[in-house]
Amino acid sequence: MLVAFNLRTPITSLPTVVTDIEATTGLGKAGLGALTTMPILMMGALAFTVPSLSARIGLTRLVWIATGILAIASGIRLAGANVLVLYASALLAGAAIALAGGCVPAIVRQQLPHRIGSVTGAWTTTMMIGAALAAMFTVPFEQRFGSWQVALAMWAIPAAGAWLVWSVVERRERLAPPIARRASGIRDLPWRSSTAWAITGFLAINSITFYTTVAWLAPSLEARGMSQADAGAAFGLSSAVGFIAALLLPPLLQRTRFPRALLAVVVLVDLVSFAGIAFAPFMATALWMVLFGLTNSGWFAMGQALIGMLSTDAVHAARLTAMVYAGMYLLAAIGPISAGILLDLTGSWTALFALISASTVLALIAVPKLTPTRR
């Protein structure tokens, strides 16, 4: 859970100070969108390597390495006025998140196979809390220290803390040699499974909408008249309430007799939240933020739980995770930068969020295949 806390902070801390980054660096909308796109691309590209690396290095040792890289990625943002450093930070953060996040479902499947729903809910909840705090407190940090670079670098502290705790708690497993096993390559992933493709598509739509919204929600509210602090707080509210759904929905999915109905309802309510942000952002801002936070986070958490539920063992969970994460993040990477290009061309926030709302419907195509007992 301490590691999971840091798996979104390098990404969600950026949008709330994006106007200051733009003023300092001179980056345009597409260049700013790339700051969110680059880590997502890295997360997708490196997802393929997690099964083979974990087989050679060991799951816990790989998490230890990745968490250390994550702390470094946030720390070098002290020199973020240099665009190259800012982009290097984004790439390092994406690599670290890919390696650490790709190991978690396999660790859960291996150590707690009968509590996949509740444990997945616990670690995804912690991840949502970290995302929310990064969104809510980056601007106050900037106001306190007078520097957006220092504000972003502050998130290296919890990453370093997680690395230290993992170093102690997982020392025996980290230092032990990994279990001898043939490394899993790309050819070993479940490419022929329609269920694997369904969960990949289901989570890919979720990630496209999430990361596009992460990149542009706060700037859209600010551009339409809200103060920077209030826009950051609104985005933080959406992240803060997400932990409720992340905690409750995965175990409910594991127990309910109607899992596909639950998945479909969550997707449809998410669609409504985006429509509200598009056409009436200030009519019921808090409502749209709460609905988005609950449904988008719940959608992601249930997808993570399904990886464990649909796997037969930890090895298969690692392979399925690699396929799902690679597809999910590589497709998600098109969202923020495409949105930036669309905004440069049209300048319309309504068109952007209306398009996001419409795209959520595509996730419903995958739902019929996603039954927890369908391994």
Structure token digits, residue 103: 């190991």
Cα dist from 89 to 72, 151, 160, 218, whole Å:
8, 14, 15, 21
* Residue 69 placed within a domain: yes
Q: Can you give the pLDDT at residue 180?
A: 44
Q: Which residue has the tokens 């990745």?
A: 66
d(CA 364, CA 351): 22
d(CA 283, CA 231): 15
* Residue 375 placed within a domain: no
* Residue 91 placed within a domain: yes
d(CA 288, CA 278): 10
Q: Which of 219, 305, 212 is nearest to 262 (CA)?
A: 305
Asked if 239 and 135 touch (Cβ cutoff 8 Å), the reply is yes
The model carries a pTM of 0.76
* Residue 56 placed within a domain: yes
* Residue 40 placed within a domain: yes
SS3 370: coil
Note down pLDDT in tens along the chain; length 375 residues. 999 999 989 988 888 888 899 889 888 777 887 887 788 888 888 888 888 888 888 888 899 999 999 999 999 999 988 999 999 999 999 999 999 988 888 888 888 888 888 888 888 888 888 888 898 899 899 999 999 999 999 999 999 999 999 998 877 765 655 554 554 567 788 888 999 999 999 999 999 998 888 778 888 888 888 887 788 778 778 877 887 888 889 889 988 889 999 999 999 999 999 999 999 888 888 899 999 999 998 999 899 889 888 887 777 887 888 899 888 888 888 887 788 888 888 889 999 999 999 999 999 999 998 876 655
* Residue 41 placed within a domain: yes
| Domain residue limits at 305 | 2-369
3-state secondary structure 57-105: HCHHHHHHHHHHHHHHHHHHHHHCCCHHHHHHHHHHHHHHHHHHHHHHH
10 Å Cβ neighbour count for 52? 18
Number of structural domains, the chain?
1
**Cβ contacts of 137 within 8 Å, gap of 6 or more:** 236
* Residue 64 placed within a domain: yes
Asked if 372 and 259 touch (Cβ cutoff 8 Å), the reply is yes
Helix axes 18-25, 194-223, angle to 10 degrees: 70
CATH code of the domain covering residue 338: 1.20.1250.20
* Residue 340 placed within a domain: yes
